Amino acid sequence: MGAAFAVLAVITLTLYSPVVHHPFIDYDDPDYVTQNPSVQSGLGWQFVKWSLATTTAGNWHPVTWLSHALDCQLFGLNAGGHHATSALLHAANGILLFLFLLNSTRAPGRSFLVAALFAVHPINVESVAWVAERKNVLCTFFFLLTLIRYCWYAGRPNVHRYLVVALLFIAGLASKPMAVTLPCVLILMDFWPLKRVHGFSEVAAKSDENKRRLSTLIVEKVPFFFLAAMSAVVTLIAQRTAGAMVTTENLPLNLRVGNALRADTLYLWKAMWPRGYAPFYPGDPLTGSQILVSFLILSAVTVFAYQQRVKRPYILFGWLWFLGTLVPVIGLIQVGGQAMADRYAYIPLIGIFVAIVWTVAEFLDSRAVGVGIRLPAVAFVILVFSVATWHQIGYWRSDYDLWHHASQVTKNNLIAEDGLGLALLGTLRYDEALLHFQNARRIRPTDPTSHLNIGIILQQKQNIQGAISEYETSISLTHEPVTLAIAYDNLGTIYQTTGDYSKARENFIHALKANPEETDALVKLGQLEAAQKSQEKNTN
């Protein structure tokens, strides 16, 4: 098995080696690392207390904060070190997935192929190449460790082993609340591959001291469900506090259900067709026919999987794993404006890989297809996905490349237009940036970011009245402290330049109230008051 571990590690780390040369991305990375002084302070008792109490970035995930702080202590703000940690965790996850499937199924070839598909699939690039998504690879690390230890517990149940499983589960929840579905996955494992349920199939019906009634196995998971419920409550509070939750008035339940059905089918499509990935997918209006087709596809697969539950239980296992682990992020409780996200499929698609690999392997076994055909076919599939992943990793080499690609593969993508505009603005390409901010404003006239940045560009172009109008519009559309502070600060600068010191002072004060850390406004306010005192002294 050592050779299999080595091969998985070498393939994964070689494939993701370019990320160590990539910078941080100006999308969530500032919140998690580059503009987070608490994280940059490194590990220490004060930071540990902060990580346990904070809901910064709209989540409670102290283990993730500890991981980022450790990286800052080791690498500072050298992005390559942070990226290397994420790549190592992804490689570890591939090895853990192989171990989990090997321990539970005793099928080394199939287990290795599932782990290899997971390691090289391009839909997982977002989770690895984006430092802010450390929480995803870290949560999956503990998720898979929990499954491995559960197999150990199921072999000889006792309190000590149960507590080890529970502690690993808590670590997963403290990395990202995506782990809340793990208790349901444990019940799935009781059906297959562990076969702990009495009477589920002919195999499971055989006498075995580890077989249990389903009701007993569910009761066994009650503490896990309780932990998951606690995590869900804390997450909802954190998201509501951060203002990230979308109300049913803004997005009715029927639209959420329609989008959930559509998203499930699109994840399946993206698993099979490795193209068109983006860090943000806008919630485009869906037609009735799109929703109906999605519903029919999902229903047909569900019926088929259920029909195969005895003869081919791995199909039902993989399908329910996929559907179940997507539930927290499918949008029934909508957080943010995305219709779906590649990072959400990091754990769920494992179920699809299991179902496909086991089904194809059984088909080939039934027809006595030899290794001479199987190995080249497997190598070809891995190569195709690896090439797609290599290209996808390349888009994360800069903000410009990332958002330019996103704007090419999606339509009416507000986040991509704003991101591309900011990347161009950072290189002083004002005219090009202005076009993208205007596109963002067209897509959503109430977007405060586009109005703010259009104002910045107009101010640079000496279009003072236009800039004032855009800043004031941005202020009227947001409660976000940083955006407000920048808009007020820039308004203050304009009024100071035009000699309206009263309005300048008023706006600098508003900037400081919005964001007390806005040092630029503080300095300008001090300069303004000093200049006014000097002027009064000279007058007297």
Q: What CATH number was assigned to the domain covering residues 399-539?
A: 1.25.40.10
For 176-235, the pLDDT digits (tens) are 999 999 999 999 999 999 999 986 654 444 445 567 888 999 999 999 999 999 999 998
Q: Half-sphere exposure of 409 toward its Cβ, with a 13 Å CA cutoff?
A: 17
pLDDT of 531 higher than 70: no
The pLDDT of residue 204: 42
49 vs 204, higher pLDDT: 49
Q: For all residues of the chain together, what is the average pLDDT?
A: 91
pLDDT of 532 higher than 70: no
Which CB contacts under 8 angstroms, 24+ apart, belong to 434-438? 436/407
120 vs 198, higher pLDDT: 120
User: Rounded to an integer, what distance in angstroms lies between the CA atom of residue 459 and that of residue 467?
Assistant: 5
The pLDDT of residue 203: 44
Q: Nearest to residue 16, comparing CAs of 74, 78, 83?
A: 83
- The least confident of 16-20, 202-206, 331-335, 336-340 is 202-206
The pLDDT of residue 284: 77
Do 87 and 128 contact (CB within 8 A), yes or no?
yes
pLDDT of 314 higher than 80: yes
Task: Give the single-character DSSP code of 335.
Answer: B
Mean pLDDT of 119-128: 98
pLDDT of 123 higher than 90: yes
Residue 356 CA to its chain's centroid (Å):
25
Q: Half-sphere exposure of 123 toward its Cβ, with a 13 Å CA cutoff?
A: 23
- The least confident of 3-17, 330-344, 482-496, 497-511 is 330-344
The pLDDT of residue 439: 97
User: Rounded to an integer, what distance in angstroms lies between the CA atom of residue 511 and that of residue 199?
Assistant: 67
Is residue 174 very low, low, confident or very high in pLDDT (cuts 50, 70, 90)? very high
User: Rounded to an integer, what distance in angstroms lies between the CA atom of residue 44 and that of residue 279?
Assistant: 33
In the chain, where the domains are located: 2-397, 399-539
Predicted TM-score of the model (pTM): 0.93
The pLDDT of residue 202: 46
